[in-house]
Amino acid sequence: MWLKPEEILLKNAFKLWVTEKDNEYFVLQRRRGYGEGGGGLTGLLVGTLDTVLDSTSKVAPFRILHHTPDSQVYWSIACGVTKEEIYQHWDWLQQNIMRTLSVFDSSEDITSFVQGKIRGLIAEEGKSSLVLEDDPEKFREALLRFEKWFELPPEEKLVTYYSCSYWKGKVPCQGWLYLSTNFLCFYSYLLGAEVKLVISWDEIWRLEKTSNVLLTESIHVLAHGEDHYFSMLLHLNETFVIMEQLANYSIKRLFDKEAFQREPALCDPLQITKRGLEAHAKSEQFRTFFRLPKEENLLEVHESFLWVPFSHFNTLGKICLSENYLCFASQDGSQCHVIIPMREVVNVEKPDSSTRALTVCVRGKRALRFSEVRDYQRLSNTIRSRCGISASPLHSASLEAIRGECQSLINHFEDNPEDVTLMVGQKDSSKAVSTEALMTVFHPQDVENLDPKMLKEKMKEQSWNIHFSEYGRGTSMFFTRKTRDLIVRGVPEALRGELWMLFSGAVNDMATHPGYYTELVEQSLGTSTLATDEIERDLHRSLPEHPAFQSDTGISALRRVLTAYAYRNPKIGYCQAMNILTSVLLLYAKEEEAFWLLVAVCERMLPDYFNRRIIGALVDQAVFEDLIRENLPQLVEHMTDLSFFSSVSLSWFLTLFISVLPIESAVNVVDCFFYDGIKAILQLGLAVLDYNMEALISCHDDAEAVTILNKFFDSVTNKDSPLPPTVQQASVGNNDKTSHFNVDISELIREAYEKYGTIRSEEVESSRKKNKLYVIQTLEDTTKQNVIRVVSQEVRFSASQLDELYNLFKRQHFLSCYWTINSPALLHHDPSLAYLEQYQLGFQQFSILFFLLEPWAFCTTKSTLSLWVFRLIDENQDGLVNFKEFCCALDTLYSNSFTNKLKFLFKLHLPPAFTGSPLHIKEQRIQHFIPVTEDSSHLSRLTAFELPEDGVIRKSPERGRGKVDLQAYLKQWQNEILKKEETIKDLPRINQTQFIQFSKTLYNIFHGDPEEESLYRAVAHVTSLLLRMEEVGRRLQEPSSPAETSKSAHVSGEESSAEDASTTPESSDTSSPHNSQDAASDLTEVEWSFSFEQVLASLLNEPAIVGFFERPVDIQTKLAQAKAAQLKPKTHK
């Protein structure tokens, strides 16, 4: 690797370096302690320095120096890990530089030329790399060490590195922490003691910052049941954030199958950078805070003041700019923020350059003034270009009019802030399904009704109208503390749908996708999938006591919304609890609005909630447990096992308390949720437990605790609800029973905000990331235990061996995904399937892993034999092998009897495993799996490089998309129950072509064995014996004829060729054309075959062969070798 020329003093390095080559201008040196001799004590000291110190010249074992004859100064210009690499550089210098140097007269000119040439070479290398690091030179040094120490595949991308201490027991090891796309690595070398650690991100259970008496502050990593602590980090918070992002990136890419198509910095795992990860994290935080669509990315941030008319002052904060939104959030504790869609901006004006201010005018006669913006000119131009506002002279008249209007608005803001009326026009999409909110249809408000509840409702509406007049209404409304206070008191029935759309960000989704919902409804109409079946089943279970869902109007709207969403997002499809949530949304929002609200909840506000494993809900339950430990210590002391609260609170999170509270109370909770997100649900959960603290502490078991909480929820009322008794869920009888105490929902919510309102959304998000790792790994571990329990009944492997095999199998699946964009292998992982089917391997993955584990080394990767084994054990012929099929094959080869091992090899040369003639093997090399019929002549022959990765050709639609054929599953299940064990008599006879290949396979298996010669002779003897037996059988069965003599000649010729093959055995891939022609003539003129009993009886007479196959295999050693070799680059060539 070429290095930026650095001056060094050679006399200080005499004892550390040995000169290998030199000439007038260059010196090639080897580091003492590397290569010949090892270096003794000096080598140990040098190795320690290499690890602790950060310098290329101390790390690379080889280097090239430049010098001139009349100077004592040397310049390092290249280094290398291997002798081959450094010699390539040396040869290049000899061929391209040495002749040119003779032209120069002075030493200074020579040194200047060499330095310029080397810098040019480095620049050329840099052009081909997309990596932009803060210090390229140091990063190149670190990359060199990373590749040398860990020997990972060359595709692995180093993201960043840090100096730190790793605690091994109670002893710290000073070394280097390397963070790459797929691995966390650490290396230390102190006085001969080497510490090397490689952990893949998808294997980490816990990742958190900790501190104790010994370690003031450290990063704790839990993986494979072992704790790892890293401390003495100069930038611990930065390191932790990068680790958290890499772990989260790995989880999303490998488990959630996210492709990051809208984020170029993350879509390619080979080009991940620290800068890209940081940008992604900021964009994610930006979208979460402002509730923006996933397409938005944070592009610019500017510090500024915003004039707030309702408070009569400028508030300090930050302007955040994305592709389609201009947002502002205060930083002075006022909790004020505003979101301005670019589509609403009509002009941008610079009223006063002295204050570095710009004014943004939006529809509805509104203007926002930002001042003290450092780069206000560029920001103004950026907003103009994104809004499509022209500054052309042709429009000068209209612009002057807008300028005058903006200036008058600004003056009005400053002089009469209390008189400002703020309005934003709402777009009306005529293409939407034309329906009203169900509550207005089934419970229209009576304007003349003046009972106390209706009067209070009118007062609430008046409060909100005053708020709108001060803070604005619609998409660019100011969000402040006063907004939250009004939410806590309760939202009026008439405004609920509008405010839900605004707070959730769904209003922006709907405005930017006009007609989208109508098209979805038309496209999804009449589709029949598993999701639509489940939707139909649950339609009448959705708020069945509400009149709206006792009629076809409500049921049809619910069906359309749920079916359209399942069609839009097949990854989620439909999940239970979505029906309950959507029912409530339809009560207060129009049908299209309810659809976009559902999109906002499922895809932004409650990520990963609505899937088969409800990971999001489980993660938030873990966050809830952490908050209970932190805020309710008395409860924790009494109930040490908090898993009870996880089980009882699942419905709270999945349905936002709708399933446990009366509908008139639950909608108040939904109000808070749309404003504050999951934080509101967590706060309310804590308030519920706090309210029932004494009763819960005094209960004796879980059942009693459940009863207490159920009684409490039954007692929650909404005294201000204007809904009639026919709509309210709480029955009169129920109220009488619990009349001794009633809890008003508004009071409960207010108490939740007062006691637990200090919980910050950022802390919740951080806790979510931490707990997501643990939740996913727990689910993965449950899957593993279930798979091992099932497979252990079929094989002789111990539980620990199956555990190691499963880890190898799972890692092999992920290895093919580590360095590939949108790897097709990710489709082979489907957590919604049965445990055994969740992880499966295609042929490419299988061949690599089988090569590492098979006992006789007869299958090289990508060999035809690997393909035949793959076809044989793929029982359902779907082009994928599951863990059970894989283990059963290995168990046969490792631990089964001689007869069963031979039967496996015999079947390997029968359809569906062996389908081709050896005449064409050379051309076909690897025929990818295609379901094979008896007549294989119609199969198209495809090579490994003409198909997608794994070459899987599916016979059915992608899993989870089409309707499940339950009858087919039942039939398959019945067949498995009735399937009798195969006997040797059931095996078909092996024909001439297959038998020749079978003999060659035996030669391959015996190749390299200490008793190779005797085994070859035994195979030749068996082959000759079988051919003679076949000839005798033919003579007994057929009458004597003139053709007999010619047949006999052919048979004897076959015998001699078999005997010749036994003395010079060749693999199946090295058959000569001459032999192929002989085999072809024999095939056409003489057809013979053998039964398995004949082959078995013949081989049993050969003690050498029987002894070879009955030789025990050291399974533990095989597993250990496979684990060590699985990550080596050579296995992925």
Low-confidence ranges of the chain (pLDDT < 70): 9-15, 34-59, 123-135, 191, 213-216, 332-334, 351, 390-435, 445-450, 724-740, 822-833, 858-862, 916-982, 984, 1038-1086, 1129-1133
pLDDT at site 242: 93
Percent over 90 (pLDDT), the chain: 32
Residue-level pLDDT at 49: 57
Task: Measure the CA–CA gap between 650 and 123, rounded to whole angstroms.
Answer: 57
Query: What's residue 974's pLDDT?
Result: 64
What is the structure's pLDDT at 727? Answer: 57
pLDDT of residue 327: 94
How is residue 983 written in tokens? 């006997």
Query: Cα–Cα distances in Å, from 865 out to 490, 714, 738, 850, 1070?
Result: 71, 67, 74, 11, 14
Instruction: Write the pLDDT tens digit of every residue in 749-807.
Output: 999 999 998 998 889 998 999 999 999 999 999 999 999 999 999 999 999 999 999 99
Positive or negative, the CA dihedral 756, 760, 761, 762 is negative
The candidate with the shortest Cα–Cα distance to 605, out of 380, 858, 300, 287, is 287
Q: What share of the chain is helix, strand, coil (3-state, %, to 5)?
A: 55, 15, 30
pLDDT on residue 1017 = 93
Longest dimension (CA), the chain: 124
pLDDT at 724: 65
Alpha helix stretches (DSSP H) within 490-577: 496-504, 506-512, 516-524, 530-538, 552-568
Q: What is the pLDDT of residue 228?
A: 92
* Burial of 975 per CB tally in 10 Å (0-12, 13-18, 19+): exposed
Per DSSP bridges, beta strands 300-308 and 313-321 are antiparallel
The DSSP bridge partners found for residue 1016 are none
Residue 1104: C-alpha distances to residues 1003, 1019, 1100 (Å) = 13, 10, 9
DSSP category for residue 937: G
Q: How far apart are CA 384 and CA 347, in angstroms?
A: 7
Give me the helices (H) in 128-210, please.
Answer: 136-150
What angle (nearest 5°) sits at the alpha carbon of residue 260, between those of residues 257 and 266? 115
pLDDT of res. 955? 35
* Closest alpha carbon to 779 in 551, 981, 614: 614
What sign has the CA pseudo-torsion 278, 280, 282, 288? Answer: negative
Q: To which residue do tokens 């790995």 refer?
A: 250
Query: For residues 476, 481, 483 and 486, what is the CA-based torsion angle, rounded to 10 degrees?
Result: 180
Give just the sign of the alpha carbon dihedral 439, 441, 447, 453: negative
Kindly give the interhelix angle for 236-254 and 799-818, rounded to the nearest 10 degrees: 100
Contact status, residue 184 vs residue 160, Cβ threshold 8 Å: no
- Report the C-alpha gap between 471 and 422 in whole angstroms: 7
Cα separation, 43 vs 54, whole angstroms? 18
Pairing assessment for the beta strands 716-717 and 743-744 based on DSSP bridges: parallel
Long-range contacts of 128-131 (CB under 8 A, 24+ apart): 130/271, 130/273, 131/271, 131/273
Structure tokens at 39: 């270096």
3-state SS record for 100-123: HHCCCCCHHHHHHHHHHHHHHHHH
Phi and psi torsions of 360, nearest 5°: -105, 115
Q: What is the reported pLDDT for 1079? A: 41
Per DSSP bridges, beta strands 300-308 and 218-223 are unpaired
Vertex 802, ends 800 and 805: CA angle to 5°? 115
